[in-house]
Amino acid sequence: MGFLQNGRGLASYLVMPNTFQARRFIVLGSMVSLLLLIALWNQFSVDGPTRPAGTRLAQGPSTPTGKRPNPFTNPLDEVRQTPASIRQDPLCSFHPDTSKIAVVMKTGATESFARLPTQFMTTLRCIPDYLVFSDRKETIAGIQVMDTLDAVLPKAMEGNADFDLYRVQASCAIDQGPCTSALDRAEMGWNLDKYKNIHMAEKTWKMLPDKDCVALLGDIAFAHGGSGYLMSRAAMKDLIGGHPGLANRYDEDMHNYCCGDAVFAKAVRDTIDVNVTGVWPTINGEKPFTLPYGDSHWCHPIATMHHMSPEEISTFWEFETQFYADEAAEASRKDADKFVPSPSSPRISIENSSPPDFFPGATTGTT
């Protein structure tokens, strides 16, 4: 009976809030709840003095430990990879060391957002030092894309229809798609692209002069420059370091040429008397699904290919990454028989399929 009476008394407090006792009960309950919430917040807050050991904020690679990311950080801050950061990436741990090579990517603003993200996630992911040049300065996923053409002589641009696309892109206040949708972007991009090559080489030498080799690549197909070409540090030093302002010497006459890579080859020949050396099939004009697998390609390394779509680039990079991992796992077994005698009888009239035009000094026939 006492329990029922107490129950009725509690109900009277809740049902009759106008009484003094009910109001006092509600106020006291609210204060207790508030104090409890404050105590819980102090206990588990990420910045609280009593934060449990071992808990911390989720962090990006550039966020200092224990600090909240600054939402007002300059969005144009360049994201740079380092050999240390690449070694920490499990997908890069078995890739070859390319720290002596500067990889230079050329693109255009009409294609950059469609093409570059795949390159950043695959081909360039395990490259310590790379530069990306375009015909417009922009940032893609925090990675700086530099304007190659900002050093072209103004008088070479003035009244030059080749720079119509460049001017439209520079004046566009929104994303590039709507600004250039009514233009013939393929043709105008082709005309503009040829002005980039020598300026790109000049900028690369200024930014990365200590690399043993420079690989200049294209992410879209402009002539055969899409497969890229290689320059040694000695050649870059003689060409760019020894001839300041070289690119500007070709600016005004560039509209008379079709292709920037051809003009670059001409500049190398005319300036330092070095001719282009063909290294096909290592630098190849095909892609994995059109490559003519046969005697002409066997036993040759592949450095670059051509006309690969983003999906094909991703697929091939996954294969390459798995290949390097498998090679590392098999290394100990491959070396196990190096010091084990393996005598065999002489073999007569063996065709070793190594023609001299591919392997200088090689012979065919009996071994």
Cα(239)–Cα(214) distance, integer angstroms: 13
Instruction: Spell out the residues 6+ positions from residue 83 whose beta carbon is closer than 8 angstroms to its own.
Output: 99, 128
Residue 201 in domain: yes
pLDDT per residue, tens digit, the chain (367 aa), is 443 444 444 444 444 455 666 666 676 677 767 777 666 656 554 444 444 444 333 333 343 444 444 433 444 444 455 555 565 788 898 999 999 999 999 999 998 998 999 999 998 999 999 999 999 999 998 899 999 999 999 999 999 999 999 999 999 888 888 888 888 988 999 999 999 999 999 999 999 999 999 998 865 433 355 788 899 999 999 999 999 999 999 999 999 998 888 899 999 999 999 998 888 888 888 888 888 888 777 788 888 888 889 999 999 999 999 999 988 877 656 565 665 666 677 777 777 666 665 555 555 544 4
Residue 336 in domain: no
Q: Own/partner pairs for 311-317, CB < 8 Å, 24+ apart? A: 312/287, 312/288, 313/118, 313/119, 313/122, 313/123, 314/118, 314/121, 314/122, 316/288, 317/122, 317/123, 317/125
Residue 214 in domain: yes
Residue 353 in domain: no
Q: Which domain holds residue 213?
A: 83-278
Q: Domain with 205 in it: what CATH number?
A: 3.90.550
Cα maximum dimension of the chain: 115
Query: What HEC string does 95-142 produce?
Result: CCCCCCEEEEEECCCCCHHHHHHHHHHCCCCCCCCEEEEECCCEEECC
Please state the domain count of the chain.
1
Residue 8 in domain: no
Q: What's residue 334's pLDDT?
A: 58
Residue 331 in domain: no
Residue 338 in domain: no
Instruction: Spell out the residues 6+ positions from residue 190 whose beta carbon is closer than 8 angstroms to its own.
Output: 222
Cα(337)–Cα(247) distance, integer angstroms: 55
Residue 61 in domain: no
Cα(247)–Cα(153) distance, integer angstroms: 9
Q: What's residue 360's pLDDT?
A: 54
Hunting for tokens 């009484």 — which residue is that?
Answer: 19
Give this prediction's pTM: 0.67
